[in-house]
Amino acid sequence: MRIGNTELKSGLILAPMAGFSDRAMRLTCRSYGAEYTVTEMVSAKAVTFGDKKTERIARIGDDEGAVALQLFGSEPDVLAKATEIMAGGVQGYAPPVAIDINMGCPVNKIFSNGEGSALMRDPDLICRIVRATVGATDLPVTVKLRAGVDREHINAVECALAAEEGGASAIALHGRTRVELYSGRADREIIANVNKSLHIPLIANGDITSAAEAIDMLRTTGADALMIGRGAIGNPFIFAEIKAALSGIEYTPPSVEERAECALAELRLAIEDKGERVAIPEARGRIAMYIRAFRGAAQIRAAVNRATSYSEVEYALHQAIINN
Ligand SMILES: Cc1cc2nc3c(=O)[nH]c(=O)nc-3n(C[C@H](O)[C@H](O)[C@H](O)COP(=O)(O)O)c2cc1C
């Protein structure tokens, strides 16, 4: 499938995740086979105000390959303006290959502002937002949706068609409602229904945590591509695992040493961008996922949680390699 000029071969995409899908995670996942990644969500309004923190989140490295920038907002003209500002990338950084609009975020603060998944209450507004955004850039515009706001209002087909009518180039769909947050299992039937209705590519998302789940998602939905979120936190290897399964190649899971060294490499990338003071506390949750299956995981986690410098984290993980 293609998103604008970007050709996807295996169709494996890293999901946008606030607090996670920064350059460090994107590059790490890319090195294991993610073909396309999406930034953490960025407020369109904050972009138009020139907010510095927002600009930092929107930075894309030259070494990153295909990265889409995700915006959230509710006003067509503000999203269009933010798109115009961001289409060339943050000054001194690489441009995104697409603009993705967040229409799935369930968080109260966002929803109560009429943003994220609240947009699914108004398919006409979805169409107007996409049309305005498409009119503001030569980049492809994609949309990320949920199944609906709640089980009584499952309207992903209608919303996806509204986005298509507005000129969207692809839709990513997380098969849960806003109310479900992350409970239960992503509904593959809804994803399949949306896929049948659309002319543009559909990216299936939700609960892909193994090659078996990935293949099941493709088989049950007919989706053009797969988007992986939580399953890639501390586990970028999932992209290699799925890629191997799709090509019928035998897959060898990473050793303890490879996992620990990969966690450290991801941390070094984060430190490069954010410095130790920010990167180390942020990395704790990710490292906990990297080492989850290690012998003595609780103790290693405690040591990592106490660490305030790279060398302390490195020491804890190297001890873990020795003890495993
Ligand atoms: C910590 C966290 C942060 C997220 N942030 C975003 C975000 O910024 N934009 C977005 O569209 N979705 C966001 N999501 C939703 C994911 O992109 C994805 O749709 C969801 O996690 C389901 O996929 P998964 O089961 O593969 O994790 C976030 C999810 C998590 C767990």
> pLDDT digit string (tens) for 70-114?
999 999 999 999 999 999 999 999 999 999 999 999 999 999 999
Nearest CA to ligand 1 atom 10: 16
What is the distance in A from the centroid of ligand 1 to the CA of 38? 11
Confidence band, pLDDT 50/70/90 cuts, at residue 308: very high
Nearest ligand 1 atom to alpha carbon 209: 26
What is the distance in A from the centroid of ligand 1 to the CA of 278? 21
Confidence band, pLDDT 50/70/90 cuts, at residue 212: very high
Nearest CA to ligand 1 atom 31: 230
Q: Which amino acid is at 238?
A: I
What is the distance in A from the centroid of ligand 1 to the CA of 105? 8
What is the distance in A from the centroid of ligand 1 to the CA of 101? 13
Nearest ligand 1 atom to alpha carbon 176: 22
> pLDDT digit string (tens) for 5-15?
999 999 999 99
Confidence band, pLDDT 50/70/90 cuts, at residue 66: very high
DSSP summary character for residue 154: B
Q: What is the mean pLDDT of residues 291-318?
A: 97
The token pair at 158 is: 């209608």
Q: Which residues in the chain belong to E strands, given as ranges?
A: 2-3, 6-7, 12-14, 36-38, 42-43, 66-72, 98-103, 141-148, 170-177, 202-205, 225-228
> pLDDT digit string (tens) for 123-181?
999 999 999 999 999 999 999 999 999 999 999 999 999 999 999 999 999 999 999 99
Nearest CA to ligand 1 atom 13: 17
CB neighbourhood size of 281 (10 A): 12
Nearest CA among 22, 13, 59 for reference residue 266: 22
| pLDDT for 292 | 97
> pLDDT digit string (tens) for 231-245?
999 999 999 999 999
Q: Give the pairing of strands 98-103 and 141-148.
A: parallel
Partner residues linked to 170 by β-bridges = 142
Residues with CB under 6 A from ligand 1: 15-20, 40-41, 70, 102, 104-105, 144, 174, 205-208, 228-231
Nearest ligand 1 atom to alpha carbon 207: 25
Q: Give the pairing of strands 170-177 and 98-103.
A: unpaired
What is the distance in A from the centroid of ligand 1 to the CA of 318? 31
| DSSP secondary structure letters along 13-26 | EEPP-TTT-SHHHH
Q: Give the pairing of strands 12-14 and 225-228.
A: parallel
Nearest ligand 1 atom to alpha carbon 40: 8
What distance in Å separates the CA atoms of residue 274 and residue 324, rounded to the nearest whole number?
Answer: 31
The token pair at 33 is: 């086979």
Partner residues linked to 68 by β-bridges = 38, 98
Nearest CA to ligand 1 atom 7: 17
Nearest CA among 126, 107, 139 for reference residue 41: 107
What is the distance in A from the centroid of ligand 1 to the CA of 123? 22
Answer whether 15's CB lies under 8 Å from 142's CB.
no
Nearest ligand 1 atom to alpha carbon 102: 11
**In whole angstroms, how large is the CA radius of gyration of the chain?**
19
Answer whether 54's CB lies under 8 Å from 47's CB.
yes
Substitution site in 230, 239, 284 for ligand 1 pocket (most atoms within 8 Å of beta carbon): 230
Rounded mean pLDDT of the chain? Answer: 97
Q: Annotated active-site positions, please?
A: 105
CB neighbourhood size of 7 (10 A): 11
Q: Cα torsion at 287, 290, 292, 297 (round to 10°)? A: -60
Which SS3 state, helix, strand or coil, does residue 59 take? coil
| pLDDT for 303 | 97
What distance in Å separates the CA atoms of residue 44 and residue 316, rounded to the nearest whole number?
Answer: 40
| pLDDT for 1 | 95
Computed from CA positions of residues 309, 21, 57, 98, in that sequence, does the dihedral angle turn out positive or negative? positive
